[in-house]
Amino acid sequence: MTRTRTLLIMTAVAALAAVVPMALMTWLSWQQAVTLAQDDLQETAQRTLLRAERSYAQALSALQSMQADDLVPCSPAHIHRMQSKVVTTSSVDQIGYFVDGRMRCTSWGPSDGSIAWGTPDHTTADGAALQLDVQPRAAYGRRMLSLRLGQYDALMDPGHFVDLVAAHDMRLAIATPDGRLIAQQSLARHDLLESLLRDPRDGMDDRDLFATARSEEWLAIVVAPRSRLRDIFVGQFWRFFPLGILLAAGCAGGALWLSRRRLSLHGGLVQGLRRNELYVVYQPIIELETGICVGAEALIRWRRADGTEVRPDLFIPLAEESGLVEAITDMVIERVIADMQHLLVGDRSAHIAINLAPEDMISGRALKVIASKLAGTGIANQQIWLEATERGFMDIERARAVITAARHAGHAVAIDDFGVGYSNLQYLQQLPLDALKIDKSFIDAIGTESATSPVTGHIIDMAKTLGLFVVAEGVETEAQLAYLHSRKVEFGQGWLFSKALKRDDFIAFHEHRRALYGAARENMQNAQR
């Protein structure tokens, strides 16, 4: 990846980092606007319920009071009493007195008895009967609501139930709990009103916002146009705008900082290769049955000129992306041969494993480099093992060709960090591998209750079924070692044996383990003969 391309990508990332917070802020502003608008409608619906309850309670109280009076029916005192109740009860326009289901007198005076009880549309929990759409003679064409209790009824203007001060664009309606409309404030959309009467709910459609509230006696409906969201949204947008700008600036700045750091790391890696800042350490590989050190895995490290160490998980992916990994691979090959020539020539049973990048498992380029570098050194090809992670085997056909060529040349080939990538049994069966290295995460799970604990045994069994040697990575405890012994795992590496060592330290470690366990190994080999 060129520097120019990297800069373009990082600039795009920085721009995206700035856009995302602003987009998130816009979305939050809209969500907040919807929430506030719905809360406002819901509050108004609750107030409408209270208004309806108050109007009903006033009328019911007036009727209960009339029931308690002991006056001669339809006498002047009785009629005067009904008139007094109408005057003092704002929600009642008329009170009537009935005998045998026919009106005998009202708060206006005596009646001729021609008016009969109507059929109630709803009965309240207090035992009062509601009749909708009553049209009395004195109402001048207005439709009234009749509330009946005992021998009395009260005529009420339904408008009292929605006589509420609300926002200018809100329209209210009140109904019985079963959806019988009592009163409304000229809702323009009859289809929406009918729908909410059938199915009370909160929400919005493409034209309106709506909310409902229910009590034991009443159903309140509030409708407002969606246009009210615009003003609320604008207010919320400007409320969140400063935070969005700060987040956008912070994210963009962070992306640019990471970009510069990455570019700086890239430039530093280029310089590090030129200045020989990269070096190789050796992680001993132990034959678990005998305890002898049979070799090591060569690991690349980078110490910058200022003495700081850069983690491999930072610079190796960068090297792979930027095309520097081939130079690093070549450097490792040269350093291994220079460091370990004497040891490998002196101990033909020892080997050094070199990690190959996925690109090398596809191109096979590293095999030519190894062959040219080994020429004339006395090191046998069999003493150089090759390792690659699962990503190197994604193109099975090319990987098979490279592995076949490597094995023909005498190199053993191992799959590294098995289990953390694509872990496909099919490609293991299709590739002519020699060894499988179990990732440290599965070794850590040995003897624990983690979900991956049973997987370790399955990996070992699978490898043995395929005829592969097994190398356990990251062995750190005696319990892990005992488990691996019990499963007859051939090799192990990890801090239980040794950390990664520099050249001289590894040679000393190797010689010490050889002297310490060599006799035991010879005795075992003699016994096997």
Same domain, 236 and 313: no
Q: Residues 124-145, buried b or exposed e (16+ Cβ, 10 A)?
A: beeebbbbbebebeeeeeeebb
Taking the C-alpha atoms of residue 218 and residue 49, their distance in angstroms, rounded to an integer, is: 7
Does a structural domain hold residue 320? yes
| Residues 370, 333 contacting (CB under 8 angstroms) | yes
How many CB atoms are closer than 10 A to CB 257? 11
Sequence-distant (6+) residues with CB within 8 A of 398 are 361, 362
Query: Which CB contacts under 8 angstroms, 24+ apart, belong to 190-197?
Result: 192/223, 193/221, 193/223, 196/221, 196/223, 197/221
Q: Any idea which residue has 């009967």 for tokens?
A: 129
Rg (CA), the chain: 44
Look up the domain containing 179 and give its range. 1-257
Q: Which of 229, 257, 285 is the last residue of a domain?
A: 257
Classified as helix, coil or strand, 464 is helix
Residue 116 pairs in a beta bridge with 102
Coil, strand or helix at 35? helix
Return the HEC string of 298-347. Answer: EEEEEECCCCCEECHHHHHHHHHHHCCHHHHHHHHHHHHHHHHHHHHHHC
Instruction: Say if 271 falls within a structural domain.
Output: no
Distance of alpha carbon 84 from alpha carbon 76, whole angstroms: 12
Residue 148 three-state SS: strand
In a domain, 269, yes or no: no
Tally of structural domains, the chain: 2
- Beta carbons of 339 and 280 less than 8 angstroms apart: yes
Last residue in a domain, options 257, 291, 315:
257
Q: Which two tokens stand for residue 43?
A: 């509050």
Q: Which of 215, 230, 257 is at the close of a domain?
A: 257
Instruction: Give the dihedral of Cα atoms 412, 418, 422, 427; nearest 10 deg.
Output: 40
Tell whether 199 and 112 lie within a shared domain. Answer: yes
One domain, residues 249 and 195? yes
**Domain co-membership, 209 together with 300:** no
Distance from the first to the final alpha carbon of the chain: 57
Bridge partners, 147 (sequence order): 130, 154
- The interaxial angle of helices 365-374 and 325-346, nearest 10 deg, is 40
What is residue 263's predicted lDDT score, i.e. its pLDDT? 47
In 3-state terms, the chain is what percent helix, strand and coil (to 5)?
A: 50, 20, 30
C-beta of residue 37 within 8 angstroms of C-beta of residue 209: yes
Do residue 323 and residue 210 come from a single domain?
no
User: Is residue 439 included in any domain, yes or no?
Assistant: yes
Does residue 437 contact residue 418 with C-beta atoms inside 8 Å?
A: yes
Q: Are residues 234 and 193 in the same domain?
A: yes
Note whether 214 and 282 are same-domain residues. no
406 is written with which tokens? 């490597």
312/214 same-domain check: no
Same domain, 1 and 118: yes
User: Do 468 and 415 share a structural domain?
Assistant: yes
Q: State the pLDDT at residue 413.
A: 93
Residues 6 or more apart from 242 whose CB is under 8 A from it?
none
Q: Is residue 265 part of a domain?
A: no
Residue 263 forms part of a structural domain: no
State the chain's maximal CA–CA distance in angstroms: 135
Phi, psi of 235 (to 5 degrees): -65, -45
Question: Is 262 within the bounds of a domain?
Answer: no
Other beta carbons less than 10 A from residue 424's beta carbon: 13
Query: Are 248 and 282 within one domain?
Result: no
- The one-character DSSP state at 170 is -
Q: Who's near 319: CB < 8 A, 6+ residues apart?
A: 269, 325, 328
| Residue in the structure block whose two tokens are 């160490």 | 309
Chunked into runs of 10 residues, the chain (529 residues) has average pLDDT values of 51 57 72 84 90 91 90 93 92 92 91 85 89 71 85 90 79 88 83 91 89 90 86 68 60 54 61 84 95 95 85 83 85 95 95 91 90 95 91 81 93 83 65 91 83 79 90 94 94 95 96 83 60
Bin 279: left if φ > 0, else alpha if -120 < ψ < 50, else beta: beta
DSSP 379-444: --GGGEEEEEEGGGGSSHHHHHHHHHHHHHTT--EEEEEETSS---HHHHHHS--SEEEEPHHHHH
pTM given for the model: 0.55
Provide the pLDDT for residue 2. 47
Q: Distance of alpha carbon 315 from its chain centroid, rounded? A: 29
Q: How many CB atoms lie within 10 A of CB 226?
A: 14
- The reply to whether 8 falls in a domain is yes
Degrees to nearest 5, angle at CA 72 with 70 and 73: 105
In the sheet with 208-214, reading across from the earlier edge strand, the strands are 181-184, 171-175, 219-225, 208-214, 203-204
Tally of CA atoms within 13 A in the half-sphere of 149 that contains its CB: 21
519 and 376 co-located in one domain: yes
User: Which DSSP category does 120 fall into?
Assistant: P
Instruction: Residue 456: give its domain's CATH number.
Output: 3.20.20.450
